[in-house]
Amino acid sequence: MDPTNDYLAGLGPLCRRLDLGDLSLLAVTRIREELEDYRAIGFDEHLAAVGRQQRNQVGALARGVVVSGEALEEAAELARSRAHQGIDVEVLIGAYHLGDQVLWQALVAAADAETSEVLPTAASLMFASLHAISTALAAAHAGVTQAIQSRRITASQRLVELLLTASPPPEASVHARALELDPAGEFVALLWRREDGAEAAVPAGFIDGLENAGAQFAVGYVDLGAVVVCQRVSAAQVAEAAHDRLGGHAGVGLLRRGLSGAATSVGDARLAAYVARTSEGGTAMLEDVWPEAGVQAEAGRLTPVFEVVAEVAAAHPHLVDAVRAFAAGDMQLTRTAQLLHLHANSVSYRLERWAGLTGWNPRTFDGLRRSLLAIGSVNDGQVVDGDRDRRELLDQP
């Protein structure tokens, strides 16, 4: 007798013993228990899809063939639908694996002495079918995912560009909604630049940090650097992700409402980013550095005030170090001396020297406050209003 006919004679009756309704319900239950993402899919829709999957698999087995043709196209169409629903391809293929496990267990349970000898061949066929189905799933899912990602990148870039205009037009709301952002909700912005100023994509680790925090966001690249506008996350959470995963310098704005607020938060982030750059990199939040940021924004107007400090800073950088250390040491000479590895008398002399040259006594609160703000507004002996990077970062659209 032809072995193929033996196989069909044994497996055909075995397949007909299966209750596809019970099989599908069992598979759906297991999938939803083990793959949490599927709980967001409607139960009836899920049951119908698994029913088609099991029907196609059992039908191919009964004929002794690998799943192909129309059955593969049904699988591909399901993959496209699941991609739109946000189901990852690994999860999708995992669901098919679970469905096949349920089917295999049902075949083994239904087999008897006459049909059990065909189970090894059935297993080989099921494995080949799963390979063919997985290939079709991956290709169809990737096509949709790439299209979705392309549209998201385009919408993100355009939204950021519109937020840099004087007043975001209605078009900005369209792009925000496409990105699942609430145009009337609260936004917080981040501006990031590499230390060398070169263009660079925001690192994947930073994006992962935002996603892990539950943020919705848009990313765009402009002359200023990379701009990230976020919702469902606090300024502190954005700053934490930036501190952990971004090099260079970054600024984080205030939490503000609506798209006009998002635009203002981008402006906030500009100010904070400039403070971060002038304080040797890192991440700065506007809510922490607003005094320095406010002075930076009006540095040009205050140039006559800061000119003396610029000259002193250029000629005596060790005095600048002493003033900064005095602030970091809580205005205590002993602690400042430890920070600078100097004798307390040397620290006292430098502070007095600074007071004599600038007219601001850093050993008083007012003198120290003025000194620090002025120091933050000079760079290499120049008031920062003349600095090209400042104009790029701080000039409003």
Domain range holding 190? Answer: 174-294
- Structural domain count, the chain: 3
Least confident among 9-18, 174-183, 284-293? 9-18
Residue 70 predicted with pLDDT over 90? yes
The DSSP bridge pattern shows strands 256-257 and 225-231 to be: unpaired
Same domain for 202 and 286, yes or no, is yes
Same domain for 19 and 134, yes or no, is yes
pLDDT for the residue numbered 281:
63
Which pLDDT band, with edges at 50, 70 and 90, does 297 fall under? confident
pLDDT for the residue numbered 396:
46
Q: Which residue has the higher pLDDT, 299 or 294?
A: 294
pLDDT for the residue numbered 309:
87
Return d(Cα 296, Cα 191) in angstroms, integer: 16
pLDDT for the residue numbered 389:
44
Which pLDDT band, with edges at 50, 70 and 90, does 292 fall under? confident
Length of the chain: 397
Residue 386 resides in a domain? no
Cα end-to-end distance, the chain, whole Å:
85
Question: Which residues make Cβ contacts (< 8 Å) with residue 352, sequence separation at least 6?
Answer: none
For 178-216, the DSSP string reads: HTT--TTSEEEEEEEE-TT----PPPHHHHHHHHHTT-E
Question: pLDDT digits over 148-157, tens only?
Answer: 888 899 999 9
Question: pLDDT digits over 189-246, tens only?
Answer: 999 988 766 677 899 899 998 998 899 999 999 988 999 999 999 999 999 999 888 8
Same domain for 267 and 226, yes or no, is yes
pLDDT for the residue numbered 94:
95
Return d(Cα 396, Cα 78) in angstroms, integer: 48
Same domain for 107 and 15, yes or no, is yes
Of 84, 195, 184, 101, the residue nearest 141 (C-alpha): 84
Residue 397 predicted with pLDDT over 50? no
Same domain for 285 and 312, yes or no, is no
Residue 345 resides in a domain? yes
Question: pLDDT digits over 385-396, tens only?
Answer: 434 444 444 454
What phi and psi values does residue 282 have, to the nearest 5 degrees?
Answer: 90, -165
Residue 125 predicted with pLDDT over 50? yes
Same domain for 23 and 137, yes or no, is yes
pLDDT for the residue numbered 379:
61
Question: 345: how many CB neighbours lie within 10 A of its CB?
Answer: 10
Residue 383 resides in a domain? no
Mean pLDDT rounded to a whole number for the chain: 87
Return d(Cα 316, Cα 320) in angstroms, integer: 7
Same domain for 136 and 179, yes or no, is no
pLDDT for the residue numbered 215:
94
Same domain for 227 and 188, yes or no, is yes
Same domain for 319 and 273, yes or no, is no
